[in-house]
């Protein structure tokens, strides 16, 4: 899976996205402190060519913001995004935008309701000069075929499709620009399970056929397990653990990952627990706790955790940001 | 457990919604039994009628939807529009999906909990306030004195859902109807809320109906399960029976379409086609156009829910073939 021979295609270096809150001229003139929401706070990531990296975490952990920074929808407040070793400016040129495309969560709001499928995809093909003008229609049909929709869908409006079909249209639209990297932000969480399966199968299939590199953002651990080679776990704007899917799910080192995995309900019998996997709610990303961000909820927290923020420490292909990730395996909670 | 009289039984319940295009038969003749002190899971995909069933029981059907037939018997009494007014929010409590919209945004959460006991049970302001504080403690809200004065927007999603549960518990109901109680929540918070529901069941003997689309939530939290498809119940039984050896092709297909991280498969099996239109449902078995083992006569014969044993039923006429094929 995480083969070291793979070449890095996407690299994120120390990326931060801080949103100022209650910022106003009067506050500034009175020299009042402006609160800052640290949605993404120093993230390093690499994604190899042809790899699917999963990004999991609970709502508000910054996973979608990270995806949006990478694709260029937000201008990050710090750090760099590199594709193939070249830094992409935060204000992207059309040529840069073509390299990274995104599939959004909600197929009901991410398609223009007044444009037919042909108009939506055709516009992109023309603006970016992907194919000569006289081949636009042909290319639209090819793209629909790629995602398993009939050519008759071209002249229909989004409202005429079901959720799963709309998500196929979103995928076709993202693929129209022949991107190297596809960022899928919760592409199946708005869909029913039976439909979810068809979209997940389509994404796996497209990855193999087109050699796509994928950043797959999701909160559903089982879905990520199914789709991705490697998985990164985010908590309050930081990556707390990163490993291959098999390794992460069988041998989680960070107490947060362990809690997440315990909390996921399973169909197979014998997994029901009596105790809560983790107590309390995540702290606000405006007032972060000192030391390790997970310490107020962590069953293993020691004094050092309340003072010192643990870095993401690597052991081979497995990395975890916990003071006790490697040193104390006997202290499983 | 199954010998005792069920706390709730539903017989041949039908819900219709008139629309300009025709009448939608959202719920089309379903039977349900909820044993005392246990949890029944009602699962199915969006639009299968599971929420409509719950709302029909509670008498909270939206818009022009109405009950067009059948009966609901709660604790030995048949529910009617009259008796429902007394039982709703008294003997039967309801927990809604979206805790932010279920709560009044401009009223302190403590007052929202105390409102039930004060208005319905005629308790004084002081007594109902004490009751609300007890309930806040019961549902595991830390620092209840302070939280009593909070507004819903000041609370996290998990705490809000605990408040919604506290409101439902205010008049000590015997039955709690939960409509997707954890769908809007994160997985660690979902885990906390499901443990809370399990504790209420164990400690207070509170019977529950859990409507959800998440098979795993039902697998871990319910004793019995009913699978709904296109307004009908297609399979019932204990969780172990239904999920362990499904006897309806729809249940089997649903189970195979869910990614499970205990068992990583190369391809998920999907269910071909789309759920049917409930204005003109398919003839015969409603699942036959999407069924991978449909026989020619499935298109003409409408199969009833047939008993396979006590509390175990399937609406597939070829369930024995299904059991053999595994």
Residue with tokens 């078995």: B285
Q: Name the nearest CA neighbour of B211 among B52, B9, B101, B102.
A: B52
| Beta strands A181-185; A213-218: pairing state | parallel
Interface test with B, best of A198, A249, A265 (most B CBs within 10 A): A265
pLDDT exceeds cutoff 80 at A2: no
Domain limits for position A202: 8-109+181-281
pLDDT at B263: 65
Q: Residue A10 in contact with residue A52, Cβ under 8 Å?
A: no
Q: Specify if A176 maps to a domain.
A: no
- Between CA A44 and CA A13 the distance in angstroms is 5
As a whole number, the mean pLDDT across chain A is: 90
Q: What are phi and psi of A78, to 5 degrees?
A: -165, 155
Q: What percent of chain B has pLDDT over 90?
A: 69
B46, B259, B269: residue with CB nearest A222: B259
Q: Residue A181 in contact with residue A9, Cβ under 8 Å?
A: yes
pLDDT in tens, B293-308: 999 999 999 999 999 9
Rounded average pLDDT over B213-229: 94
Q: What is the value of pTM for the model shown?
A: 0.89
B contacts of A226 (beta carbons < 8 Å):
259, 261, 264-265, 268
B contacts of A194 (beta carbons < 8 Å):
45, 253-254, 257, 270-271
Cβ pairs bridging A and B (under 8 Å): 117
Considering only the C-alpha atoms of chain A, give the largest distance between any 2 of them, rounded to a whole number of Å.
68
- Between CA A222 and CA A248 the distance in angstroms is 12
Rounded average pLDDT over B185-209: 93
- Please tell me which residue, B1 or A97, carries the higher pLDDT value: A97
pLDDT exceeds cutoff 60 at B162: yes
A contacts of B260 (beta carbons < 8 Å):
222, 266-268
A58, A197, A262: residue with CB nearest B257: A197
- Please tell me which residue, A251 or B84, carries the higher pLDDT value: A251
Q: Give SS3 for A110.
A: coil
Q: Which residues contact A223 (CB under 8 A, 6 or more apart)?
A: A188, A196, A200, B259
A226, A269, A276: residue with CB nearest B259: A226
Q: Residue A281 in contact with residue B158, Cβ under 8 Å?
A: yes
Q: Which residues contact A11 (CB under 8 A, 6 or more apart)?
A: A45, A46, A47, A80, A81, A82, A83, A85
pLDDT in tens, B225-278: 999 999 999 999 999 999 999 999 999 999 988 887 666 666 788 888 888 889
B contacts of A61 (beta carbons < 8 Å):
none
- Between CA B253 and CA B250 the distance in angstroms is 5
pLDDT exceeds cutoff 90 at A286: no
List, in order of start, the domains of chain B with CATH numbers: 8-91+173-325 (3.40.50.300), 101-170 (no CATH)
ipTM of this complex > 0.90? no
Q: Name the nearest CA neighbour of A214 among A2, A10, A1.
A: A10
Q: Name the nearest CA neighbour of A54 among A256, A173, A200.
A: A200
Q: What percent of chain A has pLDDT over 90?
A: 68
- Between CA B28 and CA B233 the distance in angstroms is 9
Q: Specify if A207 maps to a domain.
A: yes
Q: Name the nearest CA neighbour of B210 among B232, B240, B230, B190.
A: B190
Interface test with B, best of A161, A167, A197 (most B CBs within 10 A): A197
Q: Specify if A298 maps to a domain.
A: no
Q: Specify if A225 maps to a domain.
A: yes
Q: Specify if A62 maps to a domain.
A: yes
Here the CATH number for the domain that contains residue A86 is 3.40.50.300
B-proximal residues of A, 216-235, CB under 8 Å? 219-223, 225-226
Q: Specify if A158 maps to a domain.
A: no
pLDDT exceeds cutoff 70 at A329: no
B contacts of A221 (beta carbons < 8 Å):
187, 261
Tally of domains in chain A: 1
pLDDT at A22: 76
Q: Which of A4-13, B64-73, B239-248 has the lowest mean pLDDT?
A: A4-13
Beta bridge partners of B22: B19
Closest Cα in chain B, distance from residue A149 (Å): 13
pLDDT at B300: 93
Q: With an 8 Å Cβ cutoff, are A193 and B220 in contact?
A: no
B21 and chain A in contact, CB less than 8 A = no
pLDDT bucket at A3, cuts 50 / 70 / 90: very low
The CA angle A302-A306-A310, to the nearest 5 degrees, is 90
pLDDT exceeds cutoff 80 at A183: yes
Beta bridge partners of A13: A80
pLDDT in tens, A220-252: 888 998 899 999 999 999 999 999 999 999 999
- Between CA B106 and CA A176 the distance in angstroms is 47
Q: Specify if A299 maps to a domain.
A: no
pLDDT at A333: 42
Rounded average pLDDT over A107-135: 92
A-proximal residues of B, 267-296, CB under 8 Å? 267-271, 274
pLDDT at A5: 59
pLDDT exceeds cutoff 70 at B1: no
Closest Cα in chain B, distance from residue A247 (Å): 12
A-proximal residues of B, 83-102, CB under 8 Å? none
pLDDT in tens, A37-58: 999 999 999 999 999 999 999 8
Q: Give Cα separations from B17 to A45, B2, B20, B64, B177 (angstroms).
A: 51, 34, 10, 6, 22
Q: Give me the DSSP letters along B59-114.
A: T---TT-EEEEEEEEETTEE--HHHHHHHBTTTEEEE-S-HHHHS-TTS-HHHHHH
pLDDT at B184: 82
Rounded average pLDDT over B25-51: 93
pLDDT at A1: 45
Q: Specify if A295 maps to a domain.
A: no
* Cα nearest neighbour of A220 on chain B: B187
pLDDT at B191: 93
Rounded average pLDDT over A263-286: 84
pLDDT at B100: 81
pLDDT bucket at A322, cuts 50 / 70 / 90: very high
pLDDT exceeds cutoff 60 at A209: yes
Q: With an 8 Å Cβ cutoff, are B258 and A275 in contact?
A: no
B contacts of A201 (beta carbons < 8 Å):
267-268, 270
pLDDT at B298: 93
Residue count of chain B: 326
């Amino acid at each position: 899976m995480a083969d070291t021979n793979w070449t890095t295609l996407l690299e994120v270096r120390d990326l931060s996205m801080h949103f100022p809150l209650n910022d106003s001229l009067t506050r500034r003139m009175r020299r009042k402190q402006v609160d800052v929401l640290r949605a993404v706070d120093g993230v390093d990531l690499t994604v190899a060519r042809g790899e699917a990296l999963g990004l999991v975490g609970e709502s508000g952990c910054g996973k979608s913001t990270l995806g949006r920074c990478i694709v260029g929808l937000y201008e990050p407040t710090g750090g760099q995004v590199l594709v193939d070793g070249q830094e992409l400016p935060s204000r992207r040129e059309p040529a840069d935008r073509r390299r990274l495309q995104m599939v959004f969560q909600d197929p009901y709001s991410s398609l223009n309701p007044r444009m037919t499928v042909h108009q939506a995809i055709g516009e992109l093909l023309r603006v970016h000069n992907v194919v000569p003008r006289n081949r636009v229609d042909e290319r639209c049909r090819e793209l629909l075929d790629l995602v398993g929709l009939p050519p008759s869908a071209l002249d229909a409006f989004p409202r005429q499709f079901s959720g799963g079909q709309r998500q196929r249209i979103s995928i076709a639209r993202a693929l129209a620009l022949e991107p190297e990297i596809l960022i899928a932000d919760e592409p199946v969480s708005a869909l029913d399970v039976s439909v979810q399966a068809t979209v997940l199968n389509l994404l796996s299939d497209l990855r193999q056929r087109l050699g796509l590199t994928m950043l797959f953002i999701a909160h559903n651990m089982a879905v990520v397990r199914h789709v991705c080679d490697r998985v990164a776990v985010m908590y309050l704007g930081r990556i707390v653990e990163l490993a291959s899917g098999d390794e992460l799910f069988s041998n989680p080192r960070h107490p947060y990952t362990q809690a997440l995995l315990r909390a996921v309900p399973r169909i197979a019998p014998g997994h029901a627990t009596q105790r809560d996997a983790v107590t309390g709610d995540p702290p606000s990303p405006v007032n972060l706790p000192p030391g390790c961000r997970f310490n107020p909820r962590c069953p293993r927290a020691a004094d050092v955790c309340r003072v010192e923020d643990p870095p993401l420490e690597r052991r081979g292909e497995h990395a975890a940001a916990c003071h006790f990730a490697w040193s104390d395996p006997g202290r499983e909670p | 457990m199954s010998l005792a009289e069920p706390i709730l039984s539903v017989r041949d319940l039908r819900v219709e919604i008139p629309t300009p295009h025709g009448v939608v038969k959202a719920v089309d003749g379903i039977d349900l039994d909820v044993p005392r002190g246990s949890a029944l899971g009602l699962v199915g995909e969006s639009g299968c009628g599971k929420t409509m069933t719950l709302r029909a029981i509670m008498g909270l059907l939206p818009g022009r939807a109405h009950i067009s037939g059948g009966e609901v018997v709660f604790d030995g009494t048949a529910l009617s529009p009259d008796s429902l007014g007394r039982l709703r929010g008294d003997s039967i409590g309801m927990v809604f999906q979206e805790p932010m919209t279920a709560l009044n945004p401009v009223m302190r959460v403590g007052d929202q909990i105390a409102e039930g006991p004060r208005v319905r049970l005629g308790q004084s302001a002081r007594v109902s306030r004490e009751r609300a504080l007890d309930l806040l403690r019961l549902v595991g809200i830390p620092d209840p004195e302070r939280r009593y004065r909070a507004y819903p927007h000041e609370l996290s999603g998990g705490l809000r859902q605990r408040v919604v549960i506290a409101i439902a518990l205010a008049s000590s109901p015997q039955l709690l109807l939960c409509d997707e109680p954890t769908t809007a929540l994160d997985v660690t918070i979902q885990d906390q809320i499901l443990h809370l529901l399990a504790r209420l069941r164990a400690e207070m003997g509170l019977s529950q109906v859990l409507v959800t689309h998440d098979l795993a939530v039902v697998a871990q939290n319910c004793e019995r399960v009913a699978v709904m498809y296109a307004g009908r119940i297609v399979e019932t039984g204990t969780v172990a029976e239904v999920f362990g050896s499904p006897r309806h092709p729809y249940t089997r297909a649903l189970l195979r379409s869910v990614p499970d991280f205990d068992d990583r498969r190369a391809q998920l099996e999907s269910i071909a086609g789309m759920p049917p239109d409930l204005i003109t449902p398919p003839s015969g078995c409603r699942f036959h156009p999407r069924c991978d083992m449909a026989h020619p006569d499935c298109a003409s014969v409408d199969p009833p829910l047939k008993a396979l044993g006590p509390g175990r039923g399937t609406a597939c006429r070829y369930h024995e073939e299904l059991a053999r094929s595994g």
